[in-house]
Structure 1
């Protein structure tokens, strides 16, 4: 099994824009992996972005070697980790870009930072999602965008309104677990994630299913009007909005559950990406307000919600300060819906739970055997039960085989890290990366 997999930049893009791979990110450019998704066939997809802002250069600079740019990238891998193809799409209508590598008004969207989530739908189509309940469908071979759904990020913005979801995950039976936003949350005009929903029909290029609301994070978004109601997000058969949404909200439930907590403790909370534990059970992350001066010790919870909208428990065994995910903003959670396991990685530990919420493992990242995990972000749990992590600065994926039992997770991680370091050394000789930036000229490049 391959444990180390590069996330490459297309050589054509690097050459076209004369990208200086030695340049520090503080000088105005960067590469960031946003999400990874795995198909049942074993193929892996990585969603990431690259941008450059050249200080002191006019916005209308026509020379591609000097111009600002921003691109969304999608790379498809064979099950053994070999890159098969990469799709590139211009990201922003405000950056001057020619159509050589995907024009700014085509492809995955016009907002520089929108594409955050990736999901493989049951028919093999990719769904790329982001803020504003934007959803774009991309063919499995990365050759075309077949559908676009989007919504203005602010309630007073003009523009077409045909949204779907900001996050999507699939259940074993092919249903879609989604989050959608509402205006007026905490008195903001922005569209912020607030509703957890599920579909009973497929999402296709020609049809958008109705979303059945299961839970709301915040109970009473203010300044919500009838104009904000969506006919595709329903609770008890009626559109979610105004004073009509699942109650009690998750923050109300947590306030009641935690006798020492107050409702204000959850003011400004954020809804994370839910994960599928099994066909009828999901885990929903909620994080308290993030402060500029540091948020370690702030409240957070991973709530277990059924497909009937019932709160049936939460993940236990995490200390608010000692195990805080706010350090480094490590809010990701992944679940193995086949074996009913749940995982979370932050700067302090790798955690694993059973479907009942009982903590089965905590690997302390101060232990030298696991310390390397501090540099990784948890991205996915594959249908085969493997964990996929991404190194934040070396742009490598780490694939950890699933252990026969959660009690063997420590040995599985230790063995994977040992193999990863050996494979990384071999990859450096083969790829010759520059400052941990891998470039590829062999995989076909598609312009979206």
Structure 2
């Protein structure tokens, strides 16, 4: 594996035991002082205080194309609540250069720290990225411009707060996993992300109907689908 970026400029309490031979940078195992620079936190520092990113973490990167990735970066979380803490969905190319970010989210009104909803998923074939948290479902085009936000404060989209984005299918569907019912909802994303709202609304209605039918047919135990045949049902 070839390292292209690092979160922090200096290792934190690392020793030789933390070197990873299978992760290489400049032909050597990555770790200690052998790491890509500038780091992500250094790239973000010009617009914020450097201390802002002390104790920050990376989310799971998502490929937006063959040479572009969405890399979530989150500031430190606090036991008493972290809403309003800074976060960035950075766009990195395959050389580790930050070329932009997914824009349009407010650090307080759209905070992913509520409920710790940090997942970003992407459809590399169509250059689209999605994020879902307690406040909304967000969709971007490849350039990082927000094209749709579905507000979960409305009755129509409130059921989305029970789902976590898992991935995008090869057909361009957004796959959402229910947090308690162990079911997957497939949302066929339209070509125009501005039309996402009615599609999601229809998908949620269909989910409720199909869920009721599955529950009656397969009688799950505490929403665990114990029959093998039930596990292949798709919504």
TM norm structure 1? 0.50
Cross-structure match for 2:26: 236
Cross-structure match for 1:314: 101
> How many correspondences in the alignment?
231
Cross-structure match for 1:226: 16
Q: How does 1:338-417 map to 2 (within 5 A)?
A: 338-417=125-204
Tell me, yes or no, if structure 1 residue 246 matches structure 2 residue 36: yes
Q: How does 1:127-146 map to 2 (within 5 A)?
A: none
The counterpart of 1:255, out of the listed 20, 45, 64, is 45
RCO greater where, 1 or 2, for CA within 8 Å and sep 6 or more?
1
Cross-structure match for 1:121: none
Cross-structure match for 2:3: 213
Greater fraction of residues in helix: 2
Greater fraction of residues in strand: 1
Instruction: Provide Cα deviations, 1:198-256, integer angstroms capped at 9, x if missing partner.
Output: xxxxxxxxxxxxx1111101110133333432332122222212212111110111111
TM norm structure 2? 0.93
Query: Which structure 1 segments of 5+ residues have no match?
Result: 1-210
Cross-structure match for 2:206: 419
Moved over 6 A (4+): none
Higher-Rg member (1/2): 1
Q: Could you tell me how far apart the structure 1 residues matched to 2:127 and 2:68 are? A: 9
State the shift of 1:436 in Å: 2.6
Query: Which structure 2 segments of 5+ residues have no match?
Result: none
The counterpart of 2:69, out of the listed 258, 282, 289, is 282
